[in-house]
Amino acid sequence: MNRFELLNLLKETIQDELVICNIGLPSQELYKINDRPNYFYMLGSMGLASSIGLGLSLTVDKNVISIDGDGSVLMNMNTLATIGNRAPSNYTPVSYTHLTLPTILLV
């Protein structure tokens, strides 16, 4: 399953949840697939979707979903420990792989 297929699948399950989508193509694809007022498309803050999602989930009563790529998660891995420590029941971080990062790192 590629990212576009994942986003299409998620649109069927996301209703009133607040959605934070990381920068670049994922945000553009989600916007094209199913733009909604409860979606926040990040610009210029790679690696922070999970941090924004965590902060939001700790301050609102709605369910929060963050969508992050593998490179973005690697840029801010510390947040994963904080998410695990705080463990908000209304927060679902979603991460996907491009299957290209190992190639980039080996170059």
Phi, psi at residue 65, to the nearest 5°? -125, 130
Looking at residue 89, the DSSP 8-state letter turns out to be T
Going by their DSSP bridges, the two strands 39-41 and 64-69 should be labelled as: unpaired
Chain segment 47-62, per-residue pLDDT in tens = 899 999 999 999 999 9
CA distance 67 to 47: 10
Chain segment 4-21, per-residue pLDDT in tens = 888 888 888 888 999 999
CA atoms within 13 A on the CB side of 101: 10
Chain segment 80-99, per-residue pLDDT in tens = 999 999 999 999 999 888 66
Provide the 10 A C-beta neighbour count for residue 72: 22
